[in-house]
Structure 1
């Protein structure tokens, strides 16, 4: 669906491993938390109950013997400054240790103590977690309450939870990193396959996959290389065939062109229908001649038999020479202060500029502006015209061989061979560049060629 962002396969694998690691670690963290916190809490509660049972026996014995040192006894029973002991007797409440209001104790807890049932409950008293133990006094009417602090245990729980949360998050991030690393290694052959296929699509028929030591990848590399070999042989065979046919046509075509030129000079002597037929014949002969020349150049380019050593070329100077050699009104040239240089074949670049100007003259009444610019490390050539423009759906097709856009199938006018722009695309591609057509501001078409600048 359009508009829906999809993650790459690499990131989907990394996210799956990261989420899986996060879930697994979360489950383990919950298990560890429940076991550890439950065990430590039970141990602390049991310790508090045992201490309270020892202390209540001492209090009970003091009350049974009628000792007058009960308050001193309660003071001595407080194990820490945060411990609180409450002794509820009829009409009186004795407090020792940390002073708290007796009303903070839940009534059900005190009621169970008065009914002779030992009980315990976790509470937060004045911001301090405690475990309150309620025990009955057997030798006198009353209830003994001891509040054991759980501050240290609470700190231990906080530390343990922080460690488990940090470990869980770190495990998830580590899973994502491991997934990314593993997927990148696993997809490396696919990346190589994509790069090789892109090079072949760009015209490099020598691109191949390296031999693979992995038995699972060997069939893929072998099949791809065999397919590339077959494609290269087929393309070269077709190129040789086109070249041979075009070469064989040159001799009879030369005769036809010369004969057509003789007839064109005597056009005034051939009136009526015969004259119009002669015009159509000479026009088609001229188009046929250009087509044969273009086919010969395309076949040579496909066979890669005439690639000279690349040389630094001043693109603005080259365009200036091409414009000066063309008949008709001069076309204004716009150039940056420092002319860009490219590394390539001067003859091919001459043909690129000439074909773009011929295309503008043939289909749009001629070029109205030519520009040579520098843009982000690219040498940029722009050719503008004031024609009807190129529809969006045809902006890629017109660079294909024998595609003449909306004029396909027409005869009797100078519509071209359908190979001029295909040659432009092929030559630009051989220079590592790109060509496209845009809408010109103010109307018309703008053909843009971009070639990497040479590092001089």
Structure 2
């Protein structure tokens, strides 16, 4: 854009200079030519008047150089006209007065729609004034053509400057665009994003450094994920023992009164929460390692949600579905986990789901889960999808508080399917969790 503006300004200045020089030169040449011709003609008229010739009108007719030329001869009590007929009153009085005072003069005029250059010369012998109006039609056409050429050239130069500047800026910023895109993909969780090899020697070190950093980051994340997965896997055996022991104690809760009973309740609830956390952590580490990808299949989203709802212990939840049902390409297990986690979140934190919908919206399959809770504050609507973020319940304990990993799993699985998840306000109160995944091509 700057290059285009600069080119436009430079071309405009050059066009103005060319216009002033060319038009000024041609105009002076035309005026000088008209003055010289009028001086020659006035001498002939003066000689005819001195000789008292009877052919004055024929002489004036012969002096007209073309159909647009006008000659006026002002004599005391008489005005003779030759050539194109015009009203003598159109001549400026000051112009005639200068000639009567013995001063030759000239002025550009528009008479009858035709531009002319009027030359007034005194005739001392007859105490008269000679006026010759030389047409400037051809010069006016030349000026119009020249101005059209200069304006067109200026506009074309500006457009070419904009186009050239846009092309040059895109070419210059292409490496930066690639870097921004790769960095955005890594920030979004795609640790495999890399910059392509650069042919420009100035950009090669940047691409090499970025790719090396991305490799190190990917390896670090994978090592951490493997470590978390190994730890979670090792915890499953003792955790299974703890869960079974807690279940035995829970069945005999009536035999343990007082403080010991309350301690037992706290212990069993924490064991249950610990068990869910380990399961969720194993799921997340498997997703982080990206080693369990299976070939995507076409999934009927309405059928999947219907099966999940039917398998849950709570009462039926109203399901609204578009027909034909939207299909998506993906992993059935992951999508099943998405639906279950959203329903668990509504059950544990918002009094349960009151509506589930599977809709089609412009090439996207849309899953909506509505609850009847207090809703999610605007400041937490993004943070609740982060790992170990439990929103306003952070710091509390108990079986109903969750592990802080359920919605993080939802976001991770949805992202793996090329979709998005967000939380909105439900009409009438409560929260609405919205998942959108691209529809499979039919």
* TM superposition score normalised by structure 2: 0.97
Counterpart position of 1:311: 297
Shift of 1:386: 0.6
Q: Does 1:133 align with 2:143?
A: no
Counterpart position of 2:158: 172
Q: Residues 273 and 398 of structure 2 are in contact (CA less than 8 Å); yes or no, is this contact kept in structure 1?
A: no
Shift of 1:67: 1.2
Q: Does 1:23 align with 2:9?
A: yes
Q: Does 1:362 align with 2:348?
A: yes
SS of the residue corresponding to residue 186 of structure 1 reads: helix
| Aligned 1:391-402 pairs, distance under 5 A | 391-402=377-388
Q: Does 1:41 align with 2:27?
A: yes
2: CA distance, partners of 1:94 / 1:379: 93
2: CA distance, partners of 1:59 / 1:205: 99
1: CA distance, partners of 2:45 / 2:414: 103
Q: Does 1:186 align with 2:205?
A: no
SS of the residue corresponding to residue 194 of structure 2 reads: coil
Shift of 1:93: 1.8
* TM superposition score normalised by structure 1: 0.94
Aligned pair partner of 1:201 in 178, 181, 187: 187
Counterpart position of 2:75: 89
Counterpart position of 2:38: 52
2: CA distance, partners of 1:129 / 1:336: 76
Task: Give unmatched runs, 5+ long, in structure 1.
Answer: 1-14
Could you say if the C-alpha distance between residues 198 and 335 of structure 1 is closer, same or farther in structure 2, counting changes exceeding 3 Å? same
Q: Does 1:290 align with 2:276?
A: yes
Counterpart position of 1:340: 326
Counterpart position of 2:366: 380
Q: Which shows bigger deviation, 26-35 or 81-90? A: 81-90
SS of the residue corresponding to residue 49 of structure 1 reads: helix
Shift of 1:153: 1.1
Counterpart position of 1:10: none
Q: Which shows bigger deviation, 99-108 or 242-251? A: 99-108
1: CA distance, partners of 2:69 / 2:374: 94
Shift of 1:69: 0.9
Shift of 1:56: 0.8
Shift of 1:412: 3.0
Q: Which shows bigger deviation, 385-394 or 252-261? A: 252-261
1: CA distance, partners of 2:87 / 2:330: 94
SS of the residue corresponding to residue 320 of structure 2 reads: strand
| Aligned 1:411-450 pairs, distance under 5 A | 411-450=397-436
2: CA distance, partners of 1:116 / 1:373: 97
Tell me the alpha carbon deviations over residues 243-292 of structure 1, each in whole angstroms, 9 at most, x when there is no partner.
Answer: 11111211221221111111111111111111111111110110011111
Counterpart position of 1:215: 201
2: CA distance, partners of 1:366 / 1:454: 30
Q: Does 1:225 align with 2:237?
A: no
2: CA distance, partners of 1:328 / 1:253: 27
Q: Residues 272 and 399 of structure 2 are in contact (CA less than 8 Å); yes or no, is this contact kept in structure 1?
A: no
RMSD: 1.4
Q: Which shows bigger deviation, 420-429 or 162-171? A: 162-171
Task: Give unmatched runs, 5+ long, in structure 2.
Answer: none
Counterpart position of 2:59: 73
2: CA distance, partners of 1:401 / 1:191: 30
Aligned pairs, how many? Answer: 442
1: CA distance, partners of 2:109 / 2:440: 79
Counterpart position of 2:129: 143
Aligned pair partner of 1:157 in 143, 151, 155: 143
Shift of 1:174: 2.0
Tell me the alpha carbon deviations over residues 374-397 of structure 1, each in whole angstroms, 9 at most, x when there is no partner.
Answer: 111111111111111111111110
Shift of 1:413: 4.3
SS of the residue corresponding to residue 38 of structure 1 reads: helix
Aligned pair partner of 1:258 in 226, 241, 244: 244
Shift of 1:127: 2.1
SS of the residue corresponding to residue 50 of structure 1 reads: helix
2: CA distance, partners of 1:40 / 1:147: 17
